[in-house]
Amino acid sequence: MTADKERDVLVIGSGATGALSTMVLAQAGLDVLCLEQGGWVEKNEFAHTHTNWAWQRATNWNPDITRRDHPDDYMMGTDSSQPLMWNAVGGSTNAYGAIWPRYRPSDFRKGDEHGMQPNWPIAYEDVAPFYERVDAILGTSGLTGDPAMPPRPECPTGPLPFTKAAKKLSEGFDKLGWHWWPAEAGVISEDYDGRPACNNCGLCNGCPRGSMSIYSQSVWPKALEAGAELQTHARVLKILTGPDGRATGARWKNRVTGEIVETKAKIVIVAANGVGTPRLLLASGIGNSSDMVGRNLLHHTLVSAQIWVDEQVDGQMGYVASVLGREFAETDTSRGFVNGFNFNCTTSAPSAGEMATGWMSGTKAPWGKDHHTWMEKRFGHSIGLFAIGDDLPNPENRVYLDPTETDEDGIPVVKMHYEPGENDKRMMNYMLDRLQDLGEACGAFDIQLNDYRDADGVYRTPAWHMIGTCRMGDDPATSVVNGWHQSWDVPNMFIVDGSVLATGGVVNPTPTISALALRAAEYIRDNFVDLTTTERTLAA
Amino acid sequence: MTADRSVAVIGAGFVGTSCALHLARKGWDVTLIDKGGPANGASFGPAGIIQREAVAPYAFPRSVSKILSVLMRRGIDIRYHATALPGVARGLAGYWWNSSPKRHARATRAYATLIEHSLTEHGQQIDWAGPVADDLIRRDGWYDLYRTPAGLAGGLAHAKENHDGFGVPYEELSGDDVATLEPHLQERFTGAIHWPDTWSVRDPGELVAAYAGAFVEAGGTLVTGDVTDIAKTGDRWVLSSNGTEIAATDKVVVATGAWTDKVAAKLGWKPPLFVKRGYHRHFKGEGNRPLNNWIADLETGFLIAPMKRGIRLTTGAELGKLDTPQTPIQITEAEKIARRMFPIGEAADAAPWMGGRPCTPDMLPVIGPSPDKDGIWYAFGHGHQGLTMGPATGRLIAEMMGGKTPFVDPAPFRPSRFH
């Protein structure tokens, strides 16, 4: 084991939050080392450069880590969820959809609203300015003026093209009198910051052009330019602490040479997201006096529908999201459950091959002479719809370490358990009914709903979002970090990623996670000297 | 491709040639250097089996009776020279220590990761080299013959362990099966174990030459020369032979097998390497009584193989220094026993050949970057399995030098474990 010089800041994980934290702190002149267990994804590795791109996105580019086999993926066991994770520079932003809605103000005050979720220790207003600043870094596109959200300045780039599929959907929403608005996206609609505008190719599994914001392309160059050091193929085995319980650094393995290295640092930022962060804390035996580390795993309630309409809407072209419907975003207990949900509507639809073999709903093309008629009727005529809602935290939904099985490096294997609760199930049933309504309002000739329950009734969510597992709060007994992401137990350790989200909201979380990361990084920057010696974490 | 992509590989045995071949195919500018040409060292002389079944490295004998019988120079499978012992004491002590059941099991797990890829990686290199390589390969396995029921039982127990732990297939043969397999055997055996999932090489030296040919075809440069000095000048490593520069490259791979102690010394490192010498001799056989298969009598300690050059008789391990004279006793004893067993005919070689197996105390090869000399990489210490593990090692080195996570975990092989 070799030790090198003490760094100012050690960042574990180079995904969205690792990238932003490293950038902010390096730009402030601090000596920052970021450890990333994967490597850089080369442009020619993306599905786009392969003629069998549809096959690629079911295999090598499958967002579900349990369905891939890259050398840098670290395996996890899951009893139902299909986790979206990517181990490379830029993290899971290599595989996400970059749909960019914000949390609602009520998402931060659920404790006051119905008490079945905690209040955050901060409010929407604390986060709002950071949403804008992240948007400016990435070049977020969208249309201002959404009546269902608080006012905001213009997006840095204008809305993406309003497609035929979006127009069709808008007609359905209008017929029902439901809110809809063009989706905001972490995708640039104009050339921005040296990256080219989206060309609407419709294959949103990563983006070699850099039009979709993959943080290895949109943020990492700035961090490296500011003097940050990024060590790839570095798997952290343990966060090290001293006799006073403060973090001293980390032990990690260079996966290229096999060397084990211990690096010392004054501040440690853990940015390994909803699975990686609790795994590391549990494996290191730190930060868990609340017994909340790994618990309260949230995925969002999620159901979907595939609808087919008579008009040719060419859903296979264009960015993956078209409109968001916020009609049901707030609680209305007359529905029989608390919390709300959004409609996420996809424009991007399958290739002919994917369509024929079932895509979202398992509706397959027949063999024989009907195959052609089926394809003519359906290919270019389908639209995908998702409904995503706020699931209630359950301490038994969790990320945990296997008691006996260890990986090749001797670290216990990480496991996940998730099961929707009563409120979640009621919400999902309601969502399915509303998807049916929407399909009918669009005049669809076929509506196929998908509740993601298998033959045994087990809910197997495509778990794009893994959040809540190291939640933020103002009470050390029921949370893992304070309002500044600072660990209650280890005052110079910060958790800056999706683990801290105390509630899931009704939306894709990356914009909120990124905004929080910018805020936390600036706090660390502005209080660096104190934080290097602080011995107590205070409620923010 | 970046500017700093030139590399010199020292040593053109199975390991060095495979490293050079993989690097050349990845676009590196490669110079492969050997003082005598491809397969000048140990790689010329092995039994010629790609031992996909050998997931466990050979351990230091643990039973007192066995150790005593070696010390008293009974048996021919393991021999030693008293003069060699002081130099290898440190290595031997480590070898004994690492042969405890728990530590040996740990070494086996790491060893197996390379053994498991032995056939596929040879297969890949054979593809690249073409028919000149493929014509040398037989794919019907080898046979481990047993004279005694106890020996057979022991062999089977070991085979079962490898099967259950690592999926290695094996078949048991009866005495009658053995007689049918090799009708010209002159002795009766109790039985045998067949290792079907192994390949044999009808001329290991020619196989190295074929791999070297593929290397040259891939753009590599083969140089004959004895590297006497390695020194860093600016940001390049300069290799010279008695004052004449042979190569100047960004990186160097040291793949010099049993000679690595000399080379590493020039780089300020004294790895705990010790040498197990081995001998072979070719015999003409008797035309009307051919040897059909690779057959070993490991209880006694030798193997005979139907190679291109004739029936090759190979011996077990002898602890001795590389540069001291041969001691014929191991091979002459083996010849006597082999001749009783099978009509091997007249000697085809004027004298036995001797080579040195490079061994490490923990039985694992050394593959990886030098911990203190930037740009120097090591690939040596493969013990009894240089032939078997050469291509997998070549791939591992090339992947590591390319900066991406390699196909097997390199940690057990890292040079820094001996620093």
Looking at residue B100, what is its pLDDT? 86
Looking at residue B124, its amino acid is: Q
Whether B414 is covered by a domain: the verdict is yes
Test B405 with A408 for CB contact under 8 angstroms.
no
Alpha carbon dihedral B244, B248, B253, B255, in 10-degree steps, equals: -20
Helix (H, G, I), strand (E, B) or coil at A217: helix
Among chain A residues, the shortest Cα distance to B405 is held by: A256
Test B413 with A39 for CB contact under 8 angstroms.
no
B25-46 pLDDT per residue, tens? 999 999 999 999 999 999 999 9
**Which of B116, B377, B396, B404 to probe the A interface (max A CBs under 10 A)?**
B404
Q: Which two tokens stand for residue A419?
A: 């099961």
Alpha carbon dihedral B181, B186, B190, B192, in 10-degree steps, equals: -40
Test A257 with B369 for CB contact under 8 angstroms.
yes
Test A39 with B412 for CB contact under 8 angstroms.
no
Looking at residue B280, what is its pLDDT? 93
Average pLDDT over residues A147-164: 95
Q: Which two tokens stand for residue B68?
A: 């005593």
> What is the phi-psi region of residue A207: left when phi exceeds 0, alpha when psi lies from -120 to 50, beta otherwise?
beta
Among chain A residues, the shortest Cα distance to B403 is held by: A256
Looking at residue B226, what is its pLDDT? 96
A496-507 pLDDT per residue, tens? 999 999 999 999
Any idea what the CATH number is for the domain that residue B393 is in? 3.50.50.60
Q: Into how many domains does chain B fold?
A: 1
Looking at residue B323, what is its pLDDT? 76
Looking at residue A91, its amino acid is: G
Whether B391 is covered by a domain: the verdict is yes
Looking at residue B64, what is its pLDDT? 72
Measured between beta carbons, the chain B residues lying within 8 angstroms of A260 are 411
Looking at residue A3, what is its pLDDT? 64
Q: Chain B closest CA to A273's CA: distance in Å?
A: 22
**Is residue B164 predicted with pLDDT exceeding 50?**
yes
Identify which of B263, B359, B299, B275 has the alpha carbon closest to the alpha carbon of residue B35: B263
A322-367 pLDDT per residue, tens? 999 999 999 999 999 999 999 998 876 778 888 888 887 778 899 9
Whether B170 is covered by a domain: the verdict is no
Residue B265: exposure state from Cβ atoms within 10 A (0-12, 13-18, ≥19): exposed
Looking at residue A348, what is its pLDDT? 63
pLDDT confidence bin for A29, thresholds 50/70/90: very high
Q: Chain A closest CA to B55's CA: distance in Å?
A: 18
Question: Which are the contacts of A332, defined by CB distance < 8 A and separation ≥ 6?
Answer: A340
Residue B286's beta-bridge partner residues? B289
Contact present, A241 and A231 (Cβ < 8 Å):
no
The size of chain A, in residues, is: 540
Q: Which two tokens stand for residue B205?
A: 């030296």
**Is residue B3 predicted with pLDDT exceeding 60?**
no
Looking at residue A1, what is its pLDDT? 61
**Is residue A164 predicted with pLDDT exceeding 50?**
yes
B238-252 pLDDT per residue, tens? 999 999 999 999 999
Q: What is the residue range of B240's domain?
A: 1-59+99-136+200-273+362-419
Measured between beta carbons, the chain A residues lying within 8 angstroms of B405 are 38-39, 71-72, 233, 255-256
Average pLDDT over residues B214-221: 97
Buried b (16+ CB within 10 A) or exposed e, A247-273: bbbbbbbbbbbbbbbbbebbbbbbbbb
Least confident of A459-463, B266-270, B365-369: A459-463
Query: Does domain A149-209+301-389+419-460 correspond to CATH entry 1.10.10?
Result: no
Contact present, B272 and B376 (Cβ < 8 Å):
no
| CA A462 – CA A66 distance, rounded (Å) | 12
Question: Which are the contacts of A77, defined by CB distance < 8 A and separation ≥ 6?
Answer: A402, A413, A414, A415, A416
- The per-residue pLDDT of chain A, averaged, comes to 94
Q: Which two tokens stand for residue B25?
A: 């195919």
**Is residue B419 predicted with pLDDT exceeding 90?**
no
Whether B168 is covered by a domain: the verdict is no
Average pLDDT over residues A65-88: 88
Contact present, A223 and A23 (Cβ < 8 Å):
yes
The pTM for the full model equals 0.88
Average pLDDT over residues A500-529: 97
pLDDT confidence bin for A540, thresholds 50/70/90: low
Looking at residue A289, its amino acid is: S
Chain B residues within 8 Å of chain A (Cβ atoms): 368-369, 371, 400, 403-407, 409-414, 416
| Partner residue facing B413 (CB), from A258, A260, A408 | A258
More confident residue, A527 or A539: A527
**Is residue B1 predicted with pLDDT exceeding 50?**
no
Average pLDDT over residues B202-211: 98
Q: Which two tokens stand for residue A198?
A: 């989206």
Average pLDDT over residues A453-475: 94
Among chain A residues, the shortest Cα distance to B413 is held by: A258
| Partner residue facing B400 (CB), from A72, A232, A256 | A256
Test B412 with A258 for CB contact under 8 angstroms.
yes
Instruction: Tell me the domain boundaries of chain A.
Output: 1-68+82-138+213-292+469-540, 149-209+301-389+419-460
Residue with tokens 């009734």: A457
Test A258 with B410 for CB contact under 8 angstroms.
yes
Q: Chain B closest CA to A40's CA: distance in Å?
A: 9
B64-97 pLDDT per residue, tens? 777 777 777 766 777 777 666 776 777 778 888 8
Average pLDDT over residues A301-315: 94
Q: Which two tokens stand for residue B128?
A: 């690249």
**Is residue B59 predicted with pLDDT exceeding 60?**
yes
Looking at residue A463, what is its pLDDT? 86
**CATH number given to A1-68+82-138+213-292+469-540:** 3.50.50.60
B381-415 pLDDT per residue, tens? 999 999 999 999 999 999 999 998 999 999 999 99
Test B411 with A2 for CB contact under 8 angstroms.
no
Interior angle at CA B206, CA B200 and CA B212, nearest 5: 115
* 3-class DSSP string for chain B: CCCCCEEEEECCCHHHHHHHHHHHHCCCEEEEEECCCCCCCHHHCCCCEECCCCCCCCCCCCCHHHHHHHHCCCCCCEEECHHHHHHHHHHHHHHHHHCCHHHHHHHHHHHHHHHCCHHHHHHHHHHHHCHHHHCCEECCCEEEEECCHHHHHHHHHHHHHHHHHHCCCCEEEEHHHHHHHCCCCCCCCCEEEEECCCEEECCHHHHHHHHHHHHHHCCCEEEECCCCEEEEECCEEEEEECCEEEEEECEEEECCHHHHHHHHHHCCCCCCCEEEEEEEEEECCECCECCCCCEEECCCCEEEEEECCEEEEEECEEECCCCCCCCCHHHHHHHHHHHHHCCCCCECCCCCEEEEEEECCCCCCEEEECCCCCCEEEEECCCCCHHHHHHHHHHHHHHHHCCCCCCCCCHHHCHHHHC
Interior angle at CA A539, CA A28 and CA A475, nearest 5: 135
ipTM for the complex? 0.78
- The per-residue pLDDT of chain B, averaged, comes to 92
| CA B367 – CA B409 distance, rounded (Å) | 11
Residue A3: exposure state from Cβ atoms within 10 A (0-12, 13-18, ≥19): exposed
Q: Which two tokens stand for residue B173?
A: 């043969």
Task: Give the HSE-up count for residue A97: Cα atoms under 13 Å, Cβ half-sphere.
Answer: 25
What percentage of chain B has pLDDT greater than the value 90?
A: 77
Q: Are strands B274-283 and B353-359 parallel, antiparallel or unpaired?
A: antiparallel
Looking at residue A459, what is its pLDDT? 93
Residue B133: exposure state from Cβ atoms within 10 A (0-12, 13-18, ≥19): buried
**Is residue A426 predicted with pLDDT exceeding 50?**
yes
Identify which of B367, B27, B398, B34 has the alpha carbon closest to the alpha carbon of residue B225: B34
Least confident of A76-80, A269-273, B253-257, B341-345: A76-80
Looking at residue B318, what is its pLDDT? 75
Looking at residue B58, what is its pLDDT? 80
Residue B8: exposure state from Cβ atoms within 10 A (0-12, 13-18, ≥19): buried
pLDDT confidence bin for B299, thresholds 50/70/90: confident
pLDDT confidence bin for B229, thresholds 50/70/90: very high
A231-267 pLDDT per residue, tens? 999 999 999 999 999 999 999 999 999 999 999 999 9
Whether B335 is covered by a domain: the verdict is no
| CA A531 – CA A8 distance, rounded (Å) | 11
